[in-house]
Amino acid sequence: MKPSINYSIYLVTDEKCLHGYSLLEAVEAALQGGITLLQYRGKDKSSAEMYTQAVALKALADKYKVPLIINDRLDIALAVGAAGVHLGQDDLPCKVARSICGDDFIIGVSAHNTEEAKQALADGADYLGSGAVFGSNTKLDAGMLGVANLAAICSSVTIPVVGIGGINAVNYREVLAAGANGAAIVSSILGADNIKAATAAFRCIYDAFQQKN
């Protein structure tokens, strides 16, 4: 059975954001602060390094009962028993990944407009990652999407949408108000001095938004 996923506070790893913490220390603090989903992104590493880090993150995520998604690398996802994979437009086609992994595996797809969103839905994606909603300094080449386009993407599909790119505790509410099920967050959590408190702030904003809507 496909696992039930809470997309509200979706941490995406980036070691370049860290201020004096190891990746595992930072992720554990975020897990303690209440992230609901974890994505491991290990671009530019060897497969062996990615595997080793993913094994460690899987053990940590399991401890906090938070699902782990692997960016791009379906083989690493399978190797560590991750809940799923996140596929960008430059990664394996969603349909191909689905044919390898079966129906219970979570496949997320990056969609930058309603056309890509509808295509991903047709290809069997479980959720979409859409951005960059705001200016982001973690992916320098990412074009800006904006909240209005995010809302259009959310309206165009029947699967969960997660906003990504430049999302922080100040603008997170706008992402939820646009119809997104949550936000993929990188530097606003991993770059914080107090990672647990930074994560808890997102948790608080999410809970408040849910109560009013």
Q: Which residues are catalytic?
A: 41, 110, 139
What are the respective helix, strand and coil percentages of the chain, to the nearest 5? Answer: 45, 15, 40
Among 93, 143, 155, 194, binds its own copies (CB under 8 A): 93
Is 64 a binder of its own copies (CB under 8 A)? no
Is 46 a binder of its own copies (CB under 8 A)? yes
- Distance between CA atoms of residues 104 and 65, nearest Å: 17
Give the 3-state DSSP-derived string for 86-128, with helices as H, strands as E and coil as C: EECCCCCCHHHHHHHHCCCCEEEEECCCHHHHHHHHHCCCCEE
Q: Which stretch binds its own copies (CB under 8 A): 71-79, 106-114, 139-147, 202-210?
A: 71-79
Which of helix, strand or coil describes residue 4?
Answer: coil
Is 100 a binder of its own copies (CB under 8 A)? yes
Which of helix, strand or coil describes residue 185?
Answer: strand
Q: Which stretch binds its own copies (CB under 8 A): 24-32, 42-50, 112-120, 171-179?
A: 42-50
Size, binding site for its own copies by CB under 8 A: 20
Q: Which of 188, 184, 197, 198 is closest to 11 using CA atoms?
A: 184
Among 6, 56, 91, 114, binds its own copies (CB under 8 A): 91
Q: Which stretch binds its own copies (CB under 8 A): 19-27, 76-84, 134-142, 177-185?
A: 76-84
Please say which residue, 74 or 153, places its beta carbon nearer to its own copies.
Answer: 74
Among 78, 152, 159, 200, binds its own copies (CB under 8 A): 78
Is 115 a binder of its own copies (CB under 8 A)? no
Q: Hey, what are 194's tokens?
A: 């107090």
Q: Which stretch binds its own copies (CB under 8 A): 5-13, 74-82, 134-142, 185-193?
A: 74-82
Quote the least distance from Cβ 177 to its own copies, whole Å: 33
Neighbours of 73 (CB within 10 A): 24
Is 79 a binder of its own copies (CB under 8 A)? yes
Q: How far is CA 181 from CA 3, 136, 145, 161, 163, in A?
A: 16, 20, 17, 6, 8
Is 96 a binder of its own copies (CB under 8 A)? yes
Q: How far is CA 28 from CA 121, 124, 209, in A?
A: 32, 31, 25
Is 47 a binder of its own copies (CB under 8 A)? yes
Cβ atoms of 95 and 87 within 8 Å: the answer is no
Q: Which residues bind its own copies (CB under 8 A)?
A: 46-49, 51, 72-76, 78-79, 89-93, 96-97, 100
